[in-house]
A and B are shown apart, each in its own frame.
Chain A
Amino acid sequence: MTTPPIDNLEAESRSLWADAWRELKRKRLAMFCLWVVLIYTGLAAYGEAVYRWHQAHDRTPAYQVPDLEKQYLPPSLFREMEPAREGESRVRQVARHLGTHPLGTDGLGRDVFGRVVQGTRIAFLVGIITSMIAIPIGVILGCLAGYFGGRVDDFIVWLYSTFAAIPGLLFILAIAMVVGKGLTGVYLGIGLTTWVGLCRLVRGEVMKHKARSYVQAAQALGLGHFRIIFRHILPNIFHIVIVTFTLRFPSAVNTEVIMSFLGIGVQGEPSWGIMIGNARLRLWQGVWWEMTFATLAIFGLVLAFNLLGDALRDALDPRLKEQA
Chain B
Amino acid sequence: MSRVYARYRQRGDEEESFGEVTEDGRGHYGRALLEVEDLKVHFGSHRHPIRAVDGVSFTVYEGECLGLVGESGCGKSTLGRAVLRLEPATAGRVRYGGSDVLRIEGEALQRYREKAQMIFQDPYGSLNPRLTIGGALTEVLTVHKRGHRRERRAMAEALLDSVGLDAAYMDRYPHEFSGGQRQRIGIARSLAVNPSLLIADEPVSALDVSVQVQILNLLKDLQRQHGLTYLFVAHDLAVVRYICDRILVMYLGRIVESGAAERLYARPAHPYTQALLTSVPDVDRGLQSRGSGRRRAVLKGDVPSPSVEIKGCPFHTRCPHATDECRARTPSLRTVAPGHQVACHYAERFLGPAEGVGAVEALGDASPSVG
Write the residues of chain A forming the contact surface with B, with a CB cutoff of 8 angstroms: 1-4, 6, 8-10, 13-16, 212-214, 216-224, 227, 231-232, 235-236, 318, 321-322, 324
Contacts and interface: CB of A to CB of B under 8 A. Distances in A.
Interface string B104-146: 0000011001100110111011111111100000011001100
B97 interface: no
Given A223-B143, A232-B130, 17 more contacts: A2-B217, A6-B165, A8-B178, A10-B176, A13-B172, A14-B176, A15-B132, A213-B126, A216-B120, A217-B120, A220-B84, A222-B144, A232-B131, A235-B128, A236-B128, A236-B130, A322-B124
Nearest to A224: B143
By CB atoms of chain B within 10 A, which of A8, A9, A221, A227 has the most? A221
A221 B189 contact: yes
B139 A223 contact: yes
For the complex of A and B, 10 pairs with smallest distance between CB atoms: A222-B113, A235-B130, A213-B126, A213-B125, A220-B118, A3-B164, A214-B128, A213-B120, A13-B172, A1-B164
A214 B164 contact: no
Contact of B193 (A15, A216, A221): A221
15 contacts: A6-B166, A6-B169, A8-B177, A10-B176, A13-B132, A13-B176, A212-B125, A216-B81, A217-B127, A217-B189, A220-B113, A232-B131, A235-B130, A318-B129, A321-B175
A88 B159 CA distance: 75
A235 B144 CA distance: 22
B150 to A, nearest CB: 21
B51 to A, nearest CB: 21
A152 B126 CA distance: 27
Contacts of B196: none
Given A213-B122, A214-B126, A214-B127, A221 B140 contact: yes
A211 to B, nearest CB: 10
B180 A15 contact: no
Nearest to A223: B143
Nearest to B176: A9
A9 B173 contact: no
Contact of A4 (B86, B127, B164): B164
A13 B181 contact: no
Contacts of A14: 173, 176
Interface in B155-176: 164-166, 169, 171-173, 175-176
Contacts of B86: 216, 219-220
Interface of B: 81, 84, 86, 109-110, 113-114, 117-118, 120-122, 124-132, 139-140, 143-144, 164-166, 169, 171-173, 175-178, 180-181, 186, 189-190, 192-193, 211, 214, 217-218, 221
Contacts of A224: 143
B120 A15 contact: no
A265 B144 CA distance: 53
A235 B139 CA distance: 15
A2 B8 CA distance: 14
Contacts of A3: 164-166
Contacts of B122: 213
A220 to B, nearest CB: 5
A221 B124 contact: no
A9 B169 contact: yes
Contacts of B218: 1
A10 B172 CA distance: 10
Given A16-B129, A217-B120, A218-B128, A4 B143 contact: no
Contacts of A2: 164, 214, 217
B282 to A, nearest CB: 27
Given A9-B172, A221-B140, A227-B143, A16 B128 contact: no
Nearest to A217: B126
A147 B364 CA distance: 50
A279 B341 CA distance: 91
A133 to B, nearest CB: 26
Given A236-B130, A324-B175, A4 B180 contact: yes
Contacts of A324: 175
B289 to A, nearest CB: 35
A4 B214 contact: yes
Contact of B143 (A213, A222, A322): A222
B224 to A, nearest CB: 11
Nearest to B84: A220
Contacts of B81: 216
B113 A221 contact: yes
Contacts of B192: 221
